Structure 1
Amino acid sequence: METTTSKTHIVKDLFAFILIVFMAYILQDFLIPIVFAMILSVLIYPIVRYFEKSLCFNRIVSITIAIIIFTVIIFSIFVLIGIQFEEIMNKSDMYFSKIGSKLTALIQQTENSTGIETEDIVGSKDIKVKEIVKENSANILNFITTSGSILSDFILSPLYMFLFLLYRNFLISFLYRATSKISTKKNTRIILNELYNVQQNYMLGLVSVMVIVGLLNSIGLLLLGIDYPFFFGFLCALLLLIPYIGIMIGSLIPALIALATKDSYWYAIGVVAIFGFIQFIEGNFITPKITGSKVSLNALVSILVIILFSMLWGIPGMILALPITASLKVVFDHSEKFKPIGFLLGQAEEKYFNSKAKNRLKKWKKIRKNKKTS
């Protein structure tokens, strides 16, 4: 009887999960701006609180000023990116011409050294390498500008942010009432505080990491003598919004610029190598140190959820994957039913492995001692 009941619960949970995913996919145009607005509301809440408490401003005035400041900063960043891109694209013909001539020479050198015909390498003797490079570069630029302007497309997000911040006490009271049957008010408050801390820690940590990575990228490009080092350095840092993948995409454009403006291919390889090394430092040292244990998701789960959310919501899903999963982990950690899933999402702590290893060592020594005694 118990087995049948447990199977029934599993089927119900599985059906509920499938239904939630289906609804999230169907309602993505409605949900994505709201989720962005919720996360960004947490980010600017300290500013709103400062205006309300320290400057004694009206709540509506405080929220309006905070949203205007935030919007102006974001708009200014995208305007600067657009201006710099326009300047680079004005030189694109020169860049493409140089890249095309270098690739042609490289293909010719490959043909001479290996005996493989050019037609076998590029598919046709009449194909224009310059056009291939130009087309692929345009695709890369289009991807970067699309992923970078995601937030600016959501016209409703500032309105949602305003309403979330204006009715924050009302919404919290609603959550207390909605969870009264499954949790005490104290437990609900603890969960809400942890959710706030997770999002605040993640967003502030992400901004700090972007600044540090942007500086490191810029210094690396400056040492290599690549054009527009600070622009490309901070553009790549901005693409950290797309974890793991963004920094790799951001390295392609300066690598192409290096290929076009430098005499040696090694400069382009050096750009990719430097960005890859900085990504390694960022992922293993900078982000864990700054973001801390509040967003404690292990690397395997992080990669998997980024892939799954990208399949569900595209590029916005890749950006939202980690903050949403971190929030789910907080909820799971406070649920007896889903606590094992919360454990699975968390960091595989070194202490856990050490304690397991010590226990195995003790058992092994005990077995050996018993064998010797017998």
Structure 2
Amino acid sequence: MQKARNSNIVRIAALLLAGVLLVHIMSEAQLILLPLAWALFISLLILPVTQWLEKKVPRPAAIISVLIIVTALIGLVLYILSFQIVGLLRDAPAVTNKLNDWILSFQEIGEETLGVTNETIAQQVSSSLSGIFSNSLIMLRNSLFSAFQTLTLISVIPLYIFFMLYYRDLFYDGFLGLAKNYRTKASDIISKVNDVVQQYMVGLMGVTVIIGILFYIVLTLLGINYALFFAVLLAVFNLVPYIGVIVASLVVILYTIATTDTLFYPVAVLVALWFIQLVENNLITPYILGSQVRLNPMAALIAIFVGGNIWGVSGMILFIPLLGVLKVVFDEFEELKPIALLLGDYRNQQEVKGKEPTEEL
């Protein structure tokens, strides 16, 4: 009994050590692993289109054609958004002056209701602005390095995508060769992982487009300037579950406060964004994504924070499907099923149990 207990302790310690080592490697090798992760998910996303084109043209031509189409679509969106961004920057001084007027109004309210003098409030605001300014300098310095990293990622990802799609048969055979003792199970795992990631990414893109259109319609009807830019901002930040849309909504609401004369429009924007999020969480996402990833909210939230700490915003987006992939793998091994149980959604597990046939007595 003591020997078995010691063996379990050693096994748990080895797993914890492997986990810490894996996190360290992912953090230190970010420039290598991050573009590979993005390339893998994008490759699975465009794989069906590539396979369809390969029936008509050779594989290299099919892959290059799809990459050109995707790049052209992204370039078109960025080109249209550039006009919105230029206009937004042109209006920045007016927006800043309006925010200063709001600060002065709050100063007067604070002096009348709380007895706090303007000098005290001004000192607090000044110290806060000083802190923001110093932090901004640090962020600017870090952004220069981040810009280099971003350019590196953007230039490398298409190459990774091309080689992953071109040599996918070779990678598949090589993986099965490494797992020759579990060839059938390995093939089944690859098929399930491919289905989960592919359906999740396609569904996620569909949800993003629908949400972006709804945001654009609402902001346009409310007469908010640069509605297209803010709609794209909200849709993109919506890719980060639970957190992203809150941050983007605050930006839109602050801009609305600074560019309107009444509180009606900020309140209307807040209510409209909340209603769209309610519809998205309860109708759009469950209908399109279903339960492909099948993670419980707590596991998803932890994945977001861990991913953000390791890979930044990219980690917040990528770690949800990555954790879903791990759950699919864990489900295939009896020893790892308890971990899959911890990651899974209780409601989905109850549905699965309800479908299991009862044993005959």
Under a length normalisation based on structure 2, what TM-score does the superposition of the two structures give?
Answer: 0.86
Q: 2:238: which partner in 1?
A: 240
Of 301-310 and 256-265, more deviation after overlay is shown by 256-265
Q: 1:52: which partner in 2?
A: 54
Change (3 A) 1:124 1:186: closer
Change (3 A) 1:153 1:78: farther
Of 249-258 and 195-204, more deviation after overlay is shown by 249-258
Q: 2: CA distance between counterparts of 1:257 and 1:214? A: 18
Q: 2:180: which partner in 1?
A: 180
What are the superposed Cα offsets for residues 165-186 of structure 1, whole Å, 9 maximum, x if unpaired?
A: 00000000011111123x2x22
What are the superposed Cα offsets for residues 204-263 of structure 1, whole Å, 9 maximum, x if unpaired?
A: 111111122112222332343211223312321122232222212222332222112211
Larger Rg: 1
Q: 1: CA distance between counterparts of 2:345 and 2:238? A: 21
Q: 1:307: which partner in 2?
A: 305
Q: 2: CA distance between counterparts of 1:3 and 1:124? A: 59
In structure 1, the gaps of 5 or more residues are 357-374
Q: 2: CA distance between counterparts of 1:333 and 1:280? A: 32
CA shift for structure 1 position 91 = 1.0
Q: 1:16: which partner in 2?
A: 18
RMSD of the TM alignment (CA)? 3.1
Greater than 6 Å deviation, 4+ residue runs: none
Q: 1:100: which partner in 2?
A: 100
- Residue type at the aligned position of 1:32: L
Q: 1:370: which partner in 2?
A: none
Identity of aligned residues (%): 31
Change (3 A) 1:318 1:229: same
Q: 2: CA distance between counterparts of 1:123 and 1:10? A: 54
Q: 2: CA distance between counterparts of 1:193 and 1:81? A: 38
Q: 1:89: which partner in 2?
A: 89
Do the aligned residues in 2 keep the contact of 1:296 with 1:347 (CA within 8 Å)? yes
Q: 2: CA distance between counterparts of 1:112 and 1:91? A: 32
Q: 2: CA distance between counterparts of 1:33 and 1:45? A: 17
Change (3 A) 1:243 1:79: farther
For 1:213-224, list aligned pairs within 5 A: 213-224=211-222
For 1:9-158, list aligned pairs within 5 A: 9-53=11-55, 55=56, 57-123=57-123, 127=126, 153-158=153-158
Q: 1: CA distance between counterparts of 2:278 and 2:116? A: 37
- Residue type at the aligned position of 2:94: M
What are the superposed Cα offsets for residues 251-308 of structure 1, whole Å, 9 maximum, x if unpaired?
A: 2332222112211134224323432332233233321221112111111111111001
Change (3 A) 1:190 1:301: same
Change (3 A) 1:124 1:92: same
Change (3 A) 1:336 1:303: same
Q: 2: CA distance between counterparts of 1:312 and 1:77? A: 29
Q: Residue 293 of structure 1: SS of its match in structure 2?
A: coil
CA shift for structure 1 position 51 = 0.8
Do the aligned residues in 1 keep the contact of 2:234 with 2:248 (CA within 8 Å)? yes
Q: Residue 346 of structure 2: SS of its match in structure 1?
A: coil
Q: 2:165: which partner in 1?
A: 165
Q: 1: CA distance between counterparts of 2:224 and 2:15? A: 54
Aligned length: 345
- Residue type at the aligned position of 1:261: T
What are the superposed Cα offsets for residues 48-79 of structure 1, whole Å, 9 maximum, x if unpaired?
A: 111112x2x01111111111111222222233
CA shift for structure 1 position 115 = 1.9
Do the aligned residues in 2 keep the contact of 1:247 with 1:275 (CA within 8 Å)? no
- Residue type at the aligned position of 1:174: G
- Residue type at the aligned position of 2:38: F
Q: 1: CA distance between counterparts of 2:275 and 2:119? A: 36
